[in-house]
């Protein structure tokens, strides 16, 4: 049976990465005597080892063997789950992750790190742990014999293997299992054709009709055989028994007579052309990095329902068209049906869009789950006691946004631990709990996902930030910003308030990059801090990067779009509230707050700057903790727009976040409120 194994290898790698994440989480939560957690960790390692052997990743299988043995001794009570052992197993998880990434990407893992961790595991076991054979190997401690039978047989084993009818449909190939068995010892195979249908009329090509009797000779452990069949144990009838001593020699001298159909004893088809295409995973083209994602079946069902509704609506509109062609005089009678059909089409299209976008939504736990390990490692490295709290892990966000969110969050959490949380003795002296707390929380608000990173540490020193900002020339010596404005200087490039350098990111070092990345996702970031009480960083992100709700604006002769979530309010000016200073932007007083007014037509070079009229139309928008009033000519409708980047085929245009195509085919630029504020303030001098 020739088949492309790349899809199965990709599935194995994806499941293995998930298994490693699960192992890491369970190891961090492991407590002494927790047998259930140990069993869960063991099974994850056992599955990775078995799959790696099956697909020919011998280095992964051999390395996992030592982990499996150590875990087996821990769950049997022969080894204590000490913090040192847990840390060693966490290092082993890192090595395995590197090996799997190398297998996925066609690279090479770090052999020195693998050898060091393997030696530490063997030293912990107090013996040299023999590596398994490629098919799964020998397990000194025994990977567990569920039925309590013999762990080994001096002569070998007799295996009766009868697959269920549907086993082949799941992608499992008996020939590959026989290849792995042959690597464990001397193998002979006899097929049992009694299940074949008597006529071709009842034959199904994808059904499994054959059964096999296998004799495996050699010093092989029962657990290694069970491991080969582990993935199909629910899809076959399997019996494994020791070979009788009296029958061994006879069986070894000559195979049984072949049955009438000619499918008699044959050696395992390791060299058969039929299976060669799938066997050597090492020579197959490497699987690319998986871009797949798991989707709830209910979401697929909803999508199918929406497609059905669209088909019905399309049939209705087609019928109207045919009726008009047959009898043009009935236009008035069909107009109402046409309007109804178009309204139905609009509703179905929007629901279909929401269903499709829902498929791309994944829980933010996929990013949050990396932080328990990060906190565990950093707290040990820094000698701090830290309690990590995670809330809202099931909050969903677009997969594209999620993929770019990990690095900024890692930087912020590292900063909170390194420079926010105090040492235990310092916290105790301040009347605090010696254990500091870092909280990660995610929740939906409006059309955004909000993520908060909070700590109860020392907070940020505003005086020191101001001093650093003055030294960096970010403000004049006589300029005194408001307290909340001072904190924002931490996002300026190169500004750091760290007292000493460390190998971790100092608070402020790289914060400009964090802010840039968050802005690149269409979001914004806010910082609040209270000395002695801690800090809170709030990140607001759109649910998706591809579609947004927008407000259409008329500016001179062009149509622009502004994100609806950026709009605070729109208003017509009152002359007495306008303050005009020579050489500066006009200011508009809105409820005791003065907001700079930007003439968009002048900013984008559509018209010469003109004084503010008595009755101007303003759209007050907010981004990056600052408000700006945009002077526009008219407000058009609101609609959802598909965001298209300009950088792919043109270049980045300051003050814009992309473009979209409107219903009439016109291209409209999407405004970047934060960029417009920077341009208006002279901090972005690039020509629009």
Name the most confidently modeled range: 10-14, 267-271, 363-367, 497-501.
363-367
Q: Is 131 left (phi over 0), alpha (psi -120 to 50) or beta?
A: beta
Is 290 within a domain? no
Report the distance separating Cα 657 and Cα 645, nearest Å. 8
- 410 with 348, same domain? no
Half-sphere exposure of 672 (CA within 13 A, CB side): 26
pLDDT at position 230: 81
At 622, list the tokens: 């907010």
Alpha carbon of 614 to those of 574, 576, 588, 655: distances in Å? 7, 9, 12, 26
Is 131 within a domain? no
- 518 with 551, same domain? no
Residue 408 backbone phi and psi in degrees, to 5: -60, -40
- 194 with 307, same domain? no
pLDDT at position 455: 93
Report the distance separating Cα 19 and Cα 47, nearest Å. 8
The DSSP element (H or E) to which 630 belongs, if any, is strand 626-632
How many CB atoms lie under 10 A from the CB of residue 431? 7
- 377 with 517, same domain? yes
Range of the domain at 454: 363-542
Out of 526, 542, 558, a domain closes at 542
660, pLDDT greater than 90: no
Pick 488 or 651 by higher pLDDT: 488
516, pLDDT greater than 70: yes
> Strand 386-391 to strand 396-398: parallel, antiparallel, or no bridges (unpaired)?
unpaired
245, pLDDT greater than 70: no
Name the most confidently modeled range: 333-342, 427-436, 445-454.
427-436
For 592-639, where are the alpha helices, taking DSSP H only? 600-603
Average pLDDT over residues 458-467: 84
Is 83 within a domain? yes
- 646 with 576, same domain? yes
Q: How confident is the model at residue 388 (pLDDT cuts 50, 70, 90)?
A: very high
CATH code at 166? 3.30.70
Instruction: Name the percent of the chain lying above pLDDT 90.
Output: 8
Classify residue 228 by burial, with Cβ atoms within 10 Å: 0-12, 13-18, 19+: buried
Pick 596 or 476 by higher pLDDT: 596
pLDDT in tens, 276-335: 333 333 333 333 344 566 777 787 888 888 888 888 888 888 888 888 888 777 777 778
CATH code at 433? 3.30.565.10
Report the distance separating Cα 678 and Cα 688, nearest Å. 12
Average pLDDT over residues 184-208: 80
Q: How confident is the model at residue 74 (pLDDT cuts 50, 70, 90)?
A: confident
> Which are the contacts of 121, defined by CB distance < 8 A and separation ≥ 6?
66, 67, 69, 70, 88, 92, 129
- 228 with 338, same domain? no
Least confident of 177-191, 210-224, 282-296, 453-467: 282-296
Q: How confident is the model at residue 524 (pLDDT cuts 50, 70, 90)?
A: confident
Q: How confident is the model at residue 28 (pLDDT cuts 50, 70, 90)?
A: confident
Residue pair 153/242 in contact (Cβ under 8 Å)? The answer is yes
Is 493 within a domain? yes
The mean pLDDT of the chain is 77
3-state SS string over 103-114?
A: HHHCCCCCHHHH
Is 136 within a domain? no
Q: How confident is the model at residue 55 (pLDDT cuts 50, 70, 90)?
A: confident
209, pLDDT greater than 60: yes
Report the distance separating Cα 129 and Cα 430, nearest Å. 51
What 3-state class would DSSP assign to 598?
strand
- 229 with 350, same domain? no
pLDDT at position 428: 92
Out of 256, 272, 288, a domain closes at 272
- 87 with 211, same domain? no
114, pLDDT greater than 80: yes
Report the distance separating Cα 352 and Cα 348, nearest Å. 6
pLDDT at position 624: 65
Is 421 within a domain? yes
pLDDT at position 667: 86
How many Å from the N-terminal Cα to the C-terminal Cα in the chain?
62
> Which are the contacts of 116, defined by CB distance < 8 A and separation ≥ 6?
none
| Angle between helices 58-75 and 111-125 in degrees, nearest 10 | 30
- 671 with 599, same domain? yes
Across 289-435, where does the E strand assignment appear? 361-363, 386-391, 396-398
What is the distance, to the nearest Å, from the Cα of residue 295 to the centroid of all Cα atoms in its chain?
Answer: 13
Alpha carbon of 217 to those of 224, 249, 670: distances in Å? 13, 11, 72
Average pLDDT over residues 5-31: 81
What is the distance, to the nearest Å, from the Cα of residue 420 to the centroid of all Cα atoms in its chain?
Answer: 27
- 326 with 231, same domain? no
Q: How confident is the model at residue 441 (pLDDT cuts 50, 70, 90)?
A: very high
Report the distance separating Cα 223 and Cα 229, nearest Å. 10
2, pLDDT greater than 50: no
Report the distance separating Cα 362 and Cα 365, nearest Å. 8
Is 287 within a domain? no
CATH code at 45? 1.20.120.160
At 510, list the tokens: 């790289």
At 35, list the tokens: 């047998």
Is 687 within a domain? no
- 398 with 526, same domain? yes
CATH code at 591? 2.40.50.180
Instruction: Name the percent of the chain lying above pLDDT 70.
Output: 82
pLDDT at position 273: 36
Report the distance separating Cα 378 and Cα 418, nearest Å. 8
Least confident of 503-517, 519-533, 564-578, 650-664: 503-517
170, pLDDT greater than 70: yes
Q: State the total domains in the chain.
A: 5
The DSSP element (H or E) to which 153 belongs, if any, is strand 152-153
How many CB atoms lie under 10 A from the CB of residue 171? 13
- 342 with 415, same domain? no
Pick 501 or 572 by higher pLDDT: 572
């Amino acid at each position: 049976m020739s088949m492309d194994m790349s899809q199965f290898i990709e599935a194995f790698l994806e499941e293995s990465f998930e298994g490693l994440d699960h192992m890491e989480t369970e190891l961090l939560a492991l407590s002494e005597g927790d047998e259930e957690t140990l069993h869960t960790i063991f099974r994850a390692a056992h599955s990775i080892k078995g799959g790696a052997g099956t697909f020919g990743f011998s280095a992964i299988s051999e390395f996992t063997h030592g982990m499996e043995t150590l875990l087996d001794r821990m769950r049997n009570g022969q080894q204590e789950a000490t913090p040192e052992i847990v840390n060693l197993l966490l290092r082993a998880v890192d090595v395995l992750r590197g090996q799997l990434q190398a297998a996925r990407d066609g690279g090479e893992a770090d052999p020195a790190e693998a050898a060091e961790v393997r030696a530490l595991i063997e030293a912990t076991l107090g013996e040299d742990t023999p590596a398994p054979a490629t098919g799964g190997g020998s397990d000194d401690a025994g990977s567990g014999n569920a039925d309590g039978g013999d762990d080994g047989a001096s002569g070998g084993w007799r295996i009766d293997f009868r697959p269920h009818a549907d086993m082949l449909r799941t992608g499992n190939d008996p020939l590959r299992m026989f290849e792995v068995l042959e690597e464990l010892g001397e193998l002979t195979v006899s097929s049992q054709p009694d299940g074949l249908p008597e006529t071709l009329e009842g034959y199904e090509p994808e059904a499994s009709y054959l059964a096999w009797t296998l004799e495996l000779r050699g010093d092989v452990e029962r657990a290694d055989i069970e491991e080969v069949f582990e993935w199909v144990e629910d899809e076959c009838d399997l019996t494994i028994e020791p070979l009788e001593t009296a029958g061994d020699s006879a069986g070894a001298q000559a195979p049984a007579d072949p049955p009438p159909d000619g499918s008699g004893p044959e050696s395992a088809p390791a060299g058969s052309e039929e299976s060669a295409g799938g066997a050597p995973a090492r020579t197959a083209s490497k699987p690319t990095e998986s871009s797949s994602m798991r989707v709830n079946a209910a979401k697929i069902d909803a999508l199918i329902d929406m497609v059905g509704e669209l088909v019905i609506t399309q049939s209705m509109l087609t019928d109207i068209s045919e009726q008009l062609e047959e009898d043009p005089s009935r236009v008035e009678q069909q107009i109402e049906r046409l309007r109804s059909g178009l309204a139905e089409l609009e509703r179905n299209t929007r629901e279909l869009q929401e269903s499709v976008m829902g498929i791309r939504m994944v829980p933010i736990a996929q990013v949050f789950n990396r932080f328990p390990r990060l906190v565990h490692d950093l707290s040990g490295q820094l000698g701090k006691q830290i309690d990590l709290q995670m809330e809202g892990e099931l909050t969903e966000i677009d997969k594209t946004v999620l993929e770019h969110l990990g690095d900024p969050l890692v930087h912020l959490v590292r900063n909170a631990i390194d420079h926010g949380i105090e040492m235990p003795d310092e916290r105790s002296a301040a009347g605090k709990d010696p254990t500091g707390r870092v909280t990660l929380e995610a929740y939906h608000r409006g059309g955004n996902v909000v993520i908060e990173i909070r700590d109860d540490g020392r907070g940020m020193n505003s005086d020191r930030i101001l001093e650093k900002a003055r030294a960096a020339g970010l403000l004049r010596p006589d300029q005194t910003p408001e307290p909340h404005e001072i904190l924002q200087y931490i996002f300026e490039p190169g500004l750091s308030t760290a007292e000493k350098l460390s190998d971790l990111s100092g608070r402020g070092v790289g914060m400009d990059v964090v802010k840039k990345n968050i802005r690149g996702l269409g979001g914004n970031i806010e910082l609040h801090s209270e000395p002695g009480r801690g800090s809170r960083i709030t990140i607001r992100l759109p649910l998706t990067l591809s579609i947004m709700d927008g407000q259409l604006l008329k500016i001179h002769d062009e149509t622009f779009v502004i994100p609806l979530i950026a709009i605070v309010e729109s208003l017509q000016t009152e002359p007495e509230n306008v303050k005009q200073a020579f050489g500066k932007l006009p200011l508009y007083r809105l409820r005791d707050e003065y907001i700079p007014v930007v003439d968009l037509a002048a900013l984008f070079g559509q018209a010469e700057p003109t004084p503010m009229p008595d009755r101007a139309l303003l759209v007050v928008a907010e981004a990056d903790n600052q408000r700006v009033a945009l002077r526009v000519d008219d407000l058009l409708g609101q609609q959802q727009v598909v965001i298209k980047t300009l950088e792919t085929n043109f270049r980045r245009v300051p003050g814009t976040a992309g473009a979209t195509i409107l219903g009439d085919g016109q291209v409209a630029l999407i405004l970047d409120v934060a960029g417009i504020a920077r341009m208006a303030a002279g901090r972005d001098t690039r020509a629009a």
